[in-house]
Structure 1
Amino acid sequence: MSGPNLVGSRGRKGPHVIVLGNEKGGSGKSTTAVHLALALAQSGIRLAVADLDHRQQSTARYFENRRNWAERMGIELSSVPVTVLGDGSTGALDTLVRADLDAVVIDTPGRDSEIGRAAIARADTLITPINDSFIDFDLLGQVDPETYKVVRPSFYAELVWKARQERAKLDGGQVDWIVVRNRLSTLEARNRRRVGTALEELSKRIGFRVAPGFSERVIYRELFPRGLTLLDMEHLEASVSHVAARAELRELIAALQLPLAPADSGETEPSREAAA
């Protein structure tokens, strides 16, 4: 499978900074980061990846598994350079987001951290994956237990609001915030509706967009040890689930509306088309 056809143009000097941010683990940040980075790379986008969780290093480990599997099987797999940074590395982060690249994909720790907050303040696009439940929704806002109406924004929404203010002070830029609904279940229709309604209500109050993410599929858990992705179909035993998951990836990338184009694409007018 070839990468999606991403077109557009960057609105400032330096790479388009894409940050995966969520202070709750298990939301699919690393899976999303790796798939997005490789999809961009296969589209001709020049990019690098930064893993800011210097302890767990899930994204860095994913790419390490990918290199090891390729060597073991004697096959070629696309890759991108990965840098691991921790708290106290803000200077290195600034160097990375000013590099001569089209994009930088940054995976932040699943906890509050100095470097994670610094990354959000430098983001052009902030992607917050959440599992489709009110447990994860609580990261963004609190709801009334009877009506499920949003009562108030929560701590992470406040953190992003402050980071957006800092970004505006840094260079006058804006952060396009997208909340991605991962692990959608086809069985819990009532819960899906309630979470969806609450997200729509909260999005209007604090300014984010909502995008569909990855459903609950075994395939995502099986890919990590080999470092494979849904873009590596020729190295997988394709099934109906694989095809459906690949369609989810395309839909997600299209919903992100990233203003990117390969450096030699000749694009001169901004476009919001993606993932043909």
Structure 2
Amino acid sequence: MAHIIVVGNEKGGSGKSTVSMHVSVALARMGQRVGAMDLDVRQLSFGRYIENRRNWVKRSGVDLPTPRFQPLPDAADFDIPEGPQLHDARMGAALEALSADCDYIVIDCPGSYTRLSQYAHSVADTLITPINDSFIDFDLLARTDPETGEVLSPSIYSEMVWKARQTRAQAGLRPLNWVVLRNRMGTTAMHNKRKVGDALEVLSRRIGFRLAPGFSERVVFRELFPKGLTLLDLRDLGSEPMTMSHVAARQELRDLMGALELPDLQISV
């Protein structure tokens, strides 16, 4: 069976699509057969990223490893009334289509609660939750005391992940590997970073996730999207010199791939 990697939280602007694209391309460059799904049916940022990549490959004639994008089948293809069962059927059909010939499936979830996102979390083998380095995003994971910073209770999102874990256990599946990324980290407000970092360490032990470094805030990510390119493509293209920022960003990606601890994978990006 394909190993399913879900990139999800319930907040926009945390870099989910950037993480999804770079993880999927990194896997493809390591010789893995990679499927991709985008459950944000309105924005489709991940899907558009892959579409931009295909268009760039056509125009340039440069062959780049590209994940296979699988759209959700049309609701009209199912004789099921609108509702949760229809969403589940569409999701199940898309996963079945990819599982036949993929080693990994990367699923990008919307920044809100949907039935499709709930389904994806329930079937995830690895869950990646990117959060920006602030207590606004920390609130996605847990409620805290505003005076002491003490963790009071898990958030609604954390409870959803807990239920997904229970569902997997009841189905006899392997435990969910949950990784929280401290993403888009800047170079300022060091005191706040330490406070967020300390709170995340406490919370990780309480609700059961691992912390991993994500991507720093870099202009290069916004520049790559229109062409569908990733950090891993720049050296091969040779059109622009690699800057120190590019080199540092590539190392962040290597560190991320290693931190995911994906099964039977030799990191070579």
Q: Which structure: greater helix fraction?
A: 2
What's the CA shift for 1:56? 1.1
Aligned twin of 1:265 = none
d(CA) in 1 for partners of 2:3, 2:206: 26
Q: Deviations over 1:158-199 (max 9, x none)?
A: 010011111112233210100011011221111111111111
d(CA) in 1 for partners of 2:97, 2:245: 37
d(CA) in 1 for partners of 2:96, 2:60: 35
Aligned CA RMSD, in angstroms, stands at 1.7
Residues 161-170 or 81-90, more deviating: 81-90
% identity of equivalent residues: 54
Q: How many residues align?
A: 252
On the 8 A contact 2:70/2:94 being kept in 1, the answer is no
d(CA) in 1 for partners of 2:166, 2:145: 29
d(CA) in 2 for partners of 1:67, 1:97: 18
d(CA) in 2 for partners of 1:119, 1:228: 26
What's the CA shift for 1:110? 1.4
Task: Structure 2: state its 5+ residue gaps.
Answer: 74-86
What TM-score do you get using the length of structure 1 for normalisation?
0.86
Specify the SS of the correspondent of 2:70. Answer: strand
Aligned twin of 1:44 = 31
| 2:68 is the alignment partner of 1:81 | yes
Aligned twin of 1:231 = 232
Aligned twin of 2:218 = 217
Residues 95-104 or 213-222, more deviating: 95-104
d(CA) in 1 for partners of 2:205, 2:268: 26
On the 8 A contact 1:20/1:127 being kept in 2, the answer is yes
On the 8 A contact 1:53/1:84 being kept in 2, the answer is no
| 2:159 is the alignment partner of 1:144 | no
- For residue 103 of structure 1, what is the amino acid of its counterpart? Y
What's the CA shift for 1:208? 0.3
- For residue 42 of structure 1, what is the amino acid of its counterpart? R
Relative to structure 1, is the Cα distance of residues 274 and 74 closer, same or farther in structure 2, using a 3 angstrom cutoff?
closer
Aligned twin of 1:267 = none
| 2:259 is the alignment partner of 1:255 | yes
Aligned twin of 1:242 = 246
d(CA) in 2 for partners of 1:237, 1:172: 46
Aligned twin of 1:111 = 112
- For residue 168 of structure 2, what is the amino acid of its counterpart? R
Residues 164-173 or 201-210, more deviating: 164-173
What's the CA shift for 1:94? 4.4
Specify the SS of the correspondent of 1:84. Answer: coil
Q: Deviations over 1:235-265 (max 9, x none)?
A: 344211111111111111111111134xxxx
Aligned twin of 1:163 = 164
- For residue 255 of structure 1, what is the amino acid of its counterpart? A
After TM superposition, which residue ranges in structure 1, 4 or more long, deviate above 3 angstroms? 273-276
d(CA) in 2 for partners of 1:251, 1:223: 20
Task: Structure 1: state its 5+ residue gaps.
Answer: 1-13, 262-272
d(CA) in 1 for partners of 2:50, 2:91: 23
Specify the SS of the correspondent of 1:106. Answer: strand
On the 8 A contact 2:215/2:249 being kept in 1, the answer is yes
What TM-score do you get using the length of structure 2 for normalisation?
0.88
Relative to structure 1, is the Cα distance of residues 189 and 152 closer, same or farther in structure 2, using a 3 angstrom cutoff?
same
d(CA) in 2 for partners of 1:275, 1:206: 32
What's the CA shift for 1:124? 0.8
Aligned twin of 1:268 = none
d(CA) in 2 for partners of 1:79, 1:100: 15
- Which structure exhibits the higher relative contact order, with contacts defined as CA atoms closer than 8 Å and separated by 6 or more residues? 1
Aligned twin of 1:17 = 4
What's the CA shift for 1:98? 4.0
Aligned twin of 2:21 = 34
- For residue 52 of structure 2, what is the amino acid of its counterpart? N
Aligned twin of 2:83 = none
